[in-house]
Structure 1
Amino acid sequence: MTKISTRSFPDLLIHIGIILALIAALFLAFFFLYLPFTTNHGQTITVPDVTRQSLDEMRNLLDDRNLRYEVSDCTYVSGAQPLTVIQQYPRANAKVKEGRKIYLTITKRVAPMVQMPNLVSLTLRSAQLNLKSMDLVVGEPIYVPDIAKNAVLRQLYNGKEISPGTPVPKGAQIDLEVGDGLGSTMFAIPDVVGLPFDEAEAAIRGSNLKVGTKISVEDPEKEVGTVVKQRPAARSGERIRVGETMDLWIVGPIDPN
């Protein structure tokens, strides 16, 4: 077998040239043949829009396109259907390779709780902004006769007064009782002495007045819950203004609510 001599300098250059040519050929083959073949070079998939889709619908859309997914975040959105997609990355219509992972944000099933703020005495506008900042829904204002126009007098949840600090779910509707500025009307003071407290309260609110301080007293001759005194008293000629309060003395323990 004939041996190639590498004793001369030209022969050495030839061998080096052959080696470099082989390395270049391997380099080009790796990047232009092997990698495109193994990574589906030039083959792209259009990312579908999976927002507003349920988890099952989203899975079917991505599976049909050989795309994977990962839930990267969960958040609560008032009014949104639980366990639906609200954000995705890459976005819809982006071009990606087969098997690409799509990162998703979905809505929570259960609303987180927040503490009810104290809105009483705030202006209606301030109270509304406060509720919106806490992801609570603002109900239609309930206007009642009171000289404090557009001032919040009571805060209500499910029709009942709610105290500051009480936990409520995000997205809950809070109704606000607001003064209409018409509290200058004067009329005779209603007489609620001798009535059970619930009837007295209904009579007071029915007269566009408010129940003020409730004071517990002992009176063995009266039934528990009976109103035995009121302030201001219902004397002849005495008048009261719409929206003012009446304090009551009640037999027995007082319900703080």
Structure 2
Amino acid sequence: MSEPNATLLNRLRRGFGSLVHFVSSAVFINNLLALIGVSAFLILFVSWWLRCYTHHGQKLIIKNYVGVLVQDAREDADDHSFEMVVEDSVFMVGKPAGVILTQNPAPGAAVKKNRKIYVTITKEAADQIPFASLPMMYGKEINVIRKTLKQRFQIDTEIVGERFDEGPPNVVLEVIYAGDTLINRVRKTAPKVSVDKGGTIQFVISKDVSESVQLPDLECQTLNDADFLLKASRLVLGELHLDETVTNRYSAFVIRQQPAYAPGLIVTKGDTVQVWLTQARPARCPDVLPDNQYEE
């Protein structure tokens, strides 16, 4: 081997030996381990930072809590990092207390964690509505009043009676609440009382006078006379009930009628009246017969 080549080879051997010595030295190994550790730390840190940056401002979808009891909804909201706040409560007819009616933000909204959800729920006690805030009712058409009370105030109504009046039919004559007559012909303005939302107001309304008539007293009349009186009042003779003594129904006497007679009793034109007959004049009946009585 030539001298220059030998010299180069010796230099390479010495260089490689120095490299091996350096690589195997404690200083190199410690520095290498430190570099690996720092690199691993940087990689982990950057990875964590990227995750935080990616999820920063991430939004969650709010569920629909309407119709759910607020206790159950609050537990579910807590599980999803939301806070539920009861903003208002109202009485709803037919609904139990604590049911969510509305929520804000609305169902399906995308919000951040820890967002507050404001809800309105039902309450147990009925709202009190001052009677003075209700519309004027005396003399008003009943169907209009019933519709207004139901739609605007959620108040039920009931017609408990009819009375003949000189005015138009189907108008309010009396207003009754909780068994007390609050409005009538004498007192037409509302007293200082309140009505439960969802409660019931009762009414007595007017009935058309033209369709009414006083019931005549038919007892002690013959059937002929009774029929005449009924026709004059535009009433109809109904079922006849004859006892065993009757031989001539037209001359038989009325001993009972249905509806029973009472002074001033009003019935509707076209109503039927049943009568019970006996042949002989009852002892309680006067001897003088009406001029229009006749026999066949």
Contact kept in structure 2, 1:184 and 1:241, CA below 8 Å? no
Whether 2:74 is the aligned partner of 1:74: answer: no
Q: Cα 1:176–1:184, aligned 2, differ >3 Å: closer, same or farther?
A: same
Quote how far apart the aligned CAs of 1:46 are. 1.7
Quote how far apart the aligned CAs of 1:139 are. 2.3
Correspondence for 2:58: 43
- 1:138-190 Cα shifts (integer Å, max 9, x gaps): 32434524243110122223455335222222221212222242564232699
Contact kept in structure 1, 2:149 and 2:155, CA below 8 Å? yes
Quote how far apart the aligned CAs of 1:62 are. 0.8
- 1:184-230 Cα shifts (integer Å, max 9, x gaps): 4232699xxxxxxxxxxxxxxxxxxxxxxxxxxxxxxxxxxxxxxxx
Correspondence for 1:186: 213
Correspondence for 1:126: 144
Which structure's residues are more often helix, by fraction?
A: 2
Quote how far apart the aligned CAs of 1:239 are. 5.8
Residue 71 of structure 2: SS of its match in structure 1? helix
Residue 56 of structure 1: SS of its match in structure 2? helix
Moved more, 134-143 or 46-55: 134-143
Could you list the runs of 4 or more consecutive aligned residues of structure 1 that deviate by over 3 angstroms after TM superposition?
A: 33-36, 140-143, 238-243
- Where in structure 1 are there 5+ consecutive unaligned residues? 1-32, 191-237, 244-257
Q: Name the amino acid aligned to 1:122.
A: K
The match for 1:135 among 126, 134, 153 is: 153
Q: Cα 1:90–1:173, aligned 2, differ >3 Å: closer, same or farther?
A: same
Query: 1:242, 1:39 → 2: CA distance?
Result: 86
Residue 57 of structure 1: SS of its match in structure 2? helix
Considering only aligned residues, what root-mean-square deviation do their CA atoms show, in Å?
A: 3.4
Quote how far apart the aligned CAs of 1:109 are. 2.5
The match for 2:197 among 170, 173, 182 is: 170
For residues 153-164 of structure 1, what are the structure 2 equivalents within 5 Å? 153-163=173-183, 164=190
Q: Name the amino acid aligned to 2:197.
A: K
Correspondence for 1:16: none
Whether 2:103 is the aligned partner of 1:88: answer: yes
- Where in structure 2 are there 5+ consecutive unaligned residues? 1-47, 184-189, 218-262, 269-296
Q: Cα 1:145–1:162, aligned 2, differ >3 Å: closer, same or farther?
A: closer
TM-score (norm 2): 0.46
Query: 1:40, 1:53 → 2: CA distance?
Result: 31
Identity percentage of aligned residues: 23
How many residues matched?
164
Query: 2:76, 2:128 → 1: CA distance?
Result: 34
Quote how far apart the aligned CAs of 1:135 are. 1.6
Contact kept in structure 1, 2:97 and 2:123, CA below 8 Å? yes
- 1:48-86 Cα shifts (integer Å, max 9, x gaps): 111111121111221221211112222233333222211
Quote how far apart the aligned CAs of 1:91 are. 0.8
Contact kept in structure 2, 1:146 and 1:242, CA below 8 Å? no
Greater RCO, CA 8 A, separation 6+: 1
Quote how far apart the aligned CAs of 1:90 are. 0.8
